[in-house]
Amino acid sequence: MSMNRAPKLPQGFVSDPDDHRIQEQSDSCHEAARRRFLRLAGAGALMSLMAKVGSELSFPESVFAQSTLTPDAALADLMAGNERFVTRRITSDAQDLAILKQNNAEKQEPFAAVLSCADSRVPVELVFDQTIGHIFVTRVAGNVATSEIIASLEYGVAVLGTKVILVMGHAGCGAVKATIQGAEVPGQISALYPHIQPAVDQAGNNLEAATKANAKIQAALLGESSTVVKGLVKEGKLKVAAAYYDIATGNVMLLN
Ligand SMILES: [Zn+2]
């Protein structure tokens, strides 16, 4: 249960805010994680090698030491959180206090990653009744899988060990609506259009249908364009799913 997933203190860790060894340990943890990520995702030669080995790619076990959930269990936990949100039985507000009390900010153990729209009506942690350190969230208008978003999610799965990536579109999405209309817009807003247009081409001008198609297309794109994601999915260590958030009811519907 989520109540039991408050970040745990590392072995031998003393929760003393004045103990500078904590910060040193934290720094070294982060540095080690950063180096692992650079080793995994790093230089061109390595990336070429990763592309060649493709689905046979594997990572050191230590990378996946944080969350022990299976991908299916991680997705089920997310959906259970949404059920609590919909039925107004939220528990994450109580967890916040516990985490602050433990002064446990030096480490993150997110079990899931979510790619959602930037829309203010989609507060991701709240929608899934999750609190600090539980979900790794990337947000961009239209929840599109750009290179920067993919890079962020690769960090989430390869270094932090998230077990599921949920790509979530939502009702009344302005980015999808604007793409359907194709109207002139100020600044660089139209830069989103090419990412969303394939969904409009596929589903037509119905906003809900195009938004659902877009979530599925972006999820598929993640699996196709990221060797990191693709390899882990094939190994059964990661699941990528698409979903649609109904703003009026608060309900998240899985699409695949
Ligand atoms: Zn939106």
- The answer, yes or no, to whether residue 122 has pLDDT greater than 80, is yes
Distance (angstroms) between ligand 1 centre and the Cα of 151 equals 21
- The answer, yes or no, to whether residue 52 has pLDDT greater than 90, is no
Q: How far are the Cα atoms of 34, 146, 224 from residue 218, in angstroms, in the given order?
A: 27, 9, 10
Distance (angstroms) between ligand 1 centre and the Cα of 229 equals 24
Residues with CB under 5 A from ligand 1 (ion): 117, 119, 173, 175
Distance (angstroms) between ligand 1 centre and the Cα of 177 equals 9
DSSP string, 12-27: T----TT-HHHHHHHH
Please tell me the distance from the alpha carbon of residue 145 to that of residue 150, in angstroms, as a whole number.
6
The pLDDT, as a whole number, for residue 32 is 54
Distance (angstroms) between ligand 1 centre and the Cα of 173 equals 4
**Higher pLDDT pick, 148 / 183:** 148
Tell me, what amino acid is at 161?
Answer: G
The percentage of the chain sitting over the pLDDT mark of 90, rounded to a whole number, equals 64
- The answer, yes or no, to whether residue 26 has pLDDT greater than 90, is no
Sign of CA dihedral 205, 201, 167, 118: negative
Q: How far are the Cα atoms of 115, 146, 177 from residue 197, in angstroms, in the given order?
A: 18, 14, 11
Q: Do 63 and 161 contact (CB within 8 A), yes or no?
A: yes
Helix, strand, coil: what percent of the chain each, to 5? 55, 10, 35
**Higher pLDDT pick, 130 / 61:** 130
Where is mean pLDDT largest: 20-24, 185-189, 248-252?
248-252
**Mean pLDDT of all residues belonging to the chain:** 80
Kind of pairing between the strands at 252-254 and 239-245 = antiparallel
Please tell me the distance from the alpha carbon of residue 237 to that of residue 110, in angstroms, as a whole number.
15
- The answer, yes or no, to whether residue 229 has pLDDT greater than 90, is yes
Please tell me the distance from the alpha carbon of residue 71 to that of residue 84, in angstroms, as a whole number.
20
Distance (angstroms) between ligand 1 centre and the Cα of 162 equals 24
Distance (angstroms) between ligand 1 centre and the Cα of 209 equals 14
Q: What is the pLDDT of residues 149-175, one digit of tens each?
A: 999 999 999 999 999 999 999 999 999
- The answer, yes or no, to whether residue 25 has pLDDT greater than 50, is no
Split at pLDDT 50, 70, 90, the class of 64 is very low
Q: What is the pLDDT of residues 238-247, one digit of tens each?
A: 999 999 999 9
Distance (angstroms) between ligand 1 centre and the Cα of 208 equals 11
The pLDDT, as a whole number, for residue 143 is 98
Q: How far are the Cα atoms of 8, 78, 93, 128, 249 from residue 98, in angstroms, in the given order?
A: 11, 20, 9, 18, 29
Q: How far are the Cα atoms of 71, 88, 125, 214 from residue 67, in angstroms, in the given order?
A: 10, 27, 18, 29
- The answer, yes or no, to whether residue 213 has pLDDT greater than 50, is yes
Q: Do 170 and 122 contact (CB within 8 A), yes or no?
A: yes
Model pTM score: 0.75
- The answer, yes or no, to whether residue 195 has pLDDT greater than 80, is yes
The pLDDT, as a whole number, for residue 31 is 55
Split at pLDDT 50, 70, 90, the class of 212 is very high
Best CA proximity match to 112, nearest among 158, 62, 77: 77
**Higher pLDDT pick, 37 / 146:** 146
